[in-house]
């Protein structure tokens, strides 16, 4: 295929040759950009873990337990020998619950041991007082990845997906002692229960609205809606003293709870929880069960094969012991010189951001002042933390446990730790991501940005790249994360991360109009694998737009700036080859626009795109000036 002109398609112009020769690994849904770096990190850390295990030379106690867990997961022989037994031992407990009374009597244990429950309770930071914790209540997840798959018009996809899921469940239940009829009826019951859940819980689009998650209700009211659950007693058992109010993330679910969970549906619930519990256990059981248990999600993402046992062991351990491994990774692979360089870049970008806010033409001086205060207080977390959170001191277990037992133990320790924190101050020093993750994030509840060591590599960043290239790569990512402080969600939180309006009425209205324009720019855009939902992806697009705006501002003042290098590297970081199934799944659940669109849409909003490449009305990547969107 001929390479398109850059003026018609920046993404393909830059990436086509690569896309033609790139091969998606059989155990992954994508390759390119972020995914390639992640594969490299995985390869390095697997090598390191193997070396630690072989030599016995392990840098610290946290990693000693991580290594022990790694070896247990890698021990295919032991996992195969135990088969499904460890998971049955746990989840049979659900089947043995004789009635609602028995359920209530065991509820604390069911919560702390991570059983599948008809509601989810957790301790999190209080959005309106982020120095404190609160109890958060949400509904359970659905079998299909989003509630929109249950809507009218989606019957074909729904039935196909439920069919795949049932096939997986049947394969797993065949390993139990249940009769063939029981197996079939368990699956039918689970699907029936799930259909009710799907009517009540939020869609991905609804979850993308953070302030809508904050619905404080009195404990008395919540308890009355949760009947027949003895909710107040559960709170007393979990926290000693029941809190006076609960934050309900999903009020529609709570209001409809009695339709879902009642004496009549109790058997449906048990079968749903049992089947879901077994499926979620599979990854630490025999290889055959691991294959079965992952088959549904692999099919949804078009992944050809499961990861080999070594990679699987690494992936499992790196999720649990994420901070100790991230610190190890950062210390070994990330230079102090790079850290200092990127921190300076962040400070420069924040300073430029302030100037842009000061000069912006739609805000009043009052709102500008608050926005600048928020910029001044952003906490920068760069590379990796000095030490892991205290929970890792608790992540200990005796020798000789199976992979499944270790996981159960660690999850229990984690749950107990979270629940014990309700009346303690919230720890604002926590990092949102570990050092070995190829990603970056902004936390609106903490007003902090986090850049793990693993993303500070080419093509995002390199001391060897030009300043223009780095600005189009990591610079735009840094600007993106800062802009999350002022996206449709972030804008509603103040400099301390509290959900609080700091805007004048008029300014917020103008901001709302700009948000709408951004939704419109992406909404309904047709790709070969489906249509974009502009509302679902709006916060990320506002962030991309702000990231590009602030880095182009720096480029304008940069001696020797090369805009061609800037835009080319911008297109390069979004380079991604993915399975069609995965791309279509992302359109339903991902708050980010497809990588192709991220690369190609934002440049059209900026003058430099037109001046650098002489883009005119005749070119495909032209947008009339009145349709260009600029917010920050």
Give the closest residue to 488 by CA, choosing from 523, 525, 513. Answer: 513
Residues in the chain: 632
Q: Are 375 and 482 in contact (CB under 8 A)?
A: yes
Cα dihedral 431, 433, 439, 441 sign: negative
- Note if 8 is an active site residue: no
- Find residue 124's DSSP bridge partners: 134
Q: What does the per-residue mask of binding to Zn ion show for 493-532, with x meaning CB under 5 A?
A: ----------------------------------------
Annotated catalytic residue within 9, 42, 48, 481: 481
Residue 448 or residue 540: which is nearer to Zn ion going by CB? Answer: 540
Nearest alpha-carbon partner for 280 in 272, 270, 399: 272
For 135, phi and psi rounded to 5 degrees? -95, 130
Of the pair 257, 460, the CB lying nearest Zn ion is at 460
> Does 543 participate in binding Zn ion (rule CB under 5 A)?
yes
Part in contact with Zn ion (CB under 5 A); list of ranges 150-158, 427-435, 534-542, 602-610: 534-542
Pairing mode, strands 245-248 and 526-527? unpaired
Whose tokens are 């303690």? That residue is 424
Tell the smallest beta-carbon distance from residue 444 to Zn ion (Å).
11
CA angle 141, 145, 151 (to 5 degrees): 95
Give the CB-side neighbour count of residue 106, counting CA atoms within 13 A.
17
CA distance 96 to 13: 61
Please state the closest distance from residue 237 (CB atom) to Zn ion, in A. Answer: 38
Tell me how far apart the alpha carbons of residues 539 and 592 are, in angstroms, rounded to a whole number: 8
Q: How far is the CB of 484 from Zn ion (least distance, A)?
A: 6
Identify the DSSP state of 499: B
Q: Is 229 or 543 the residue whose CB approaches Zn ion more closely? A: 543
Give me the helix-helix angle, 336-359 and 365-376, nearest 10°.
Answer: 170
Of 36, 146, 405, 544, the active-site residue reads 544
Longest dimension (CA), the chain: 75
Compute the least distance from the CB of residue 477 to Zn ion, in Å.
9
Nearer Cβ to Zn ion (201/543): 543
Task: For residue 327, state whether it binds Zn ion (rule: CB under 5 A).
Answer: no
Cβ pair 293, 279 in contact under 8 A = yes
Residue 129 annotated to the active site: no
Q: Which is nearer to Zn ion, 95 or 591 (CB)?
A: 591
Phi, psi of 188 (to 5 degrees): -60, -45
CA–CA distance, 287 with 434 (Å, rounded to integer): 29
Please, what is the minimum distance in Å from the beta carbon of residue 446 to Zn ion? 15
DSSP 8-state secondary structure symbol assigned to residue 533: -
Q: Among residues 186 and 442, whose Cβ is nearest to Zn ion?
A: 442
From 118-126, 275-283, 325-333, 536-544, give the range in contact with Zn ion by CB under 5 A. 536-544
- Are 229 and 111 in contact by the 8 Å Cβ rule? The answer is no
Q: Which range in 135-143, 274-282, 420-428, 542-550 contacts Zn ion by CB under 5 A?
A: 542-550
Question: Least separation, in Å, of the C-beta of 592 and Zn ion?
Answer: 7
Select 139 or 472, whichever has its Cβ closest to Zn ion.
472
**d(Cα 36, Cα 42) in Å, to the nearest integer?**
10
**Do residues 561 and 230 make contact, with C-beta atoms less than 8 angstroms apart?**
no
Give 407 or 543: the residue with its C-beta nearer to Zn ion. Answer: 543
Question: What's the min distance (Å) between Cβ of 483 and Zn ion?
Answer: 8
Give the torsion sign (CA, 217, 218, 219, 223).
Answer: negative
Nearest approach in angstroms of CB 500 to Zn ion is 22
Total residues in contact with Zn ion, by rule CB under 5 A: 2
Q: How many CA atoms lie less than 13 Å away from 443 in the CB half-sphere?
A: 19
Catalytic residues: 481, 544
Q: Which residues bind Zn ion (CB under 5 A)?
A: 540, 543
């Amino acid at each position: 295929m001929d390479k398109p002109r850059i003026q018609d398609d920046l993404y393909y112009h830059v990436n086509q040759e690569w896309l033609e020769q790139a091969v998606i690994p059989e155990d992954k849904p994508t390759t390119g950009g972020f995914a390639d770096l992640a594969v490299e990190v995985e390869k390095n850390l697997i090598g390191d873990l193997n070396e630690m295990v072989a030599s016995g030379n392990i840098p610290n106690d946290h990693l000693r337990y991580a290594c022990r867990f790694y070896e247990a997961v890698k021990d295919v022989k032991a996992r195969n020998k135990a088969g499904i037994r460890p998971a049955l031992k746990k989840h049979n407990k659900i089947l043995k619950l004789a009635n609602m009374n028995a359920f209530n009597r065991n509820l604390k244990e069911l919560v702390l041991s991570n059983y599948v429950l008809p509601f989810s309770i957790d301790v999190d930071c209080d959005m309106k007082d982020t120095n404190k914790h609160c109890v958060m209540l949400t509904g359970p997840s659905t079998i299909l990845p989003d509630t929109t798959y249950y809507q009218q018009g989606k019957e074909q996809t729904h039935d196909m997906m439920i069919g795949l899921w049932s096939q997986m469940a049947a394969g797993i239940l065949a390993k139990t002692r249940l009769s063939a009829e029981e197996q079939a009826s368990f699956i039918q019951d689970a699907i029936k229960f799930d259909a009710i859940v799907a009517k009540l819980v939020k869609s991905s689009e609804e979850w993308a609205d953070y302030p809508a998650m904050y619905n404080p209700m009195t404990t008395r009211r919540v308890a009355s809606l949760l009947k027949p659950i003895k909710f107040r007693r559960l709170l007393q058992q979990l926290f000693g003293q029941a809190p006076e109010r609960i934050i309900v993330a999903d009020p529609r679910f709570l209001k409809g709870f009695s339709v879902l969970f009642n004496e009549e549906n109790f058997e449906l619930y048990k079968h749903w929880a049992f089947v879901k519990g077994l499926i979620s256990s599979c990854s630490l059981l025999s290889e055959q069960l691991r294959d079965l248990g992952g088959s549904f999600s692999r099919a949804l993402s078009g992944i050809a094969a499961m990861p080999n046992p070594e990679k699987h062991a690494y992936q499992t351990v790196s999720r649990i012991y994420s901070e100790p491994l991230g610190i190890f990774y950062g210390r070994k692979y990330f230079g102090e010189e790079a850290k200092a360089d990127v921190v300076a870049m962040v400070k420069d970008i924040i300073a430029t951001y302030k100037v842009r806010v000061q000069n912006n033409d739609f805000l009043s001086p009052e709102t500008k002042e608050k926005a600048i205060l928020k910029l001044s207080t952003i906490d920068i977390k760069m590379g990796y933390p000095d030490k892991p959170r205290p929970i890792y001191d608790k992540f200990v277990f005796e020798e000789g446990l199976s992979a499944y037992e270790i996981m159960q133990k660690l999850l229990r320790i984690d749950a107990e730790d979270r629940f014990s924190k309700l009346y303690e101050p919230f720890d604002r020093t926590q990092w949102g991501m570990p050092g070995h993750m190829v990603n970056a994030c902004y936390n609106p509840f903490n007003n902090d940005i986090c850049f793990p060591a693993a993303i500070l590599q080419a093509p995002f960043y390199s001391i060897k790249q030009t300043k223009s290239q780095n600005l189009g790569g990591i610079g735009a990512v840094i600007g993106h994360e800062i802009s999350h402080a002022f996206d449709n969600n972030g804008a509603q939180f103040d400099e301390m991360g509290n959900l609080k309006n700091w805007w004048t009425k008029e300014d917020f209205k103008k901001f709302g109009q700009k948000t709408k324009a951004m939704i419109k720019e992406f909404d309904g855009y047709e790709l070969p694998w489906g249509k974009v939902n502009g509302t679902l992806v709006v916060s990320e697009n506002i962030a991309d737009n702000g990231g590009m705006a602030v880095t182009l501002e720096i480029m304008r003042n940069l001696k020797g700036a090369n805009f061609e290098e800037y835009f080319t590297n911008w297109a390069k970081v979004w380079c991604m080859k993915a399975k069609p199934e995965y791309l279509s799944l992302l359109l339903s659940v991902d708050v980010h626009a497809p990588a192709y669109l991220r690369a190609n849409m934002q440049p059209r909003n900026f003058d430099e795109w037109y001046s650098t490449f002489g883009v005119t009305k005749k070119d495909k990547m032209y947008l009339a000036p009145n349709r260009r969107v600029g917010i920050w």
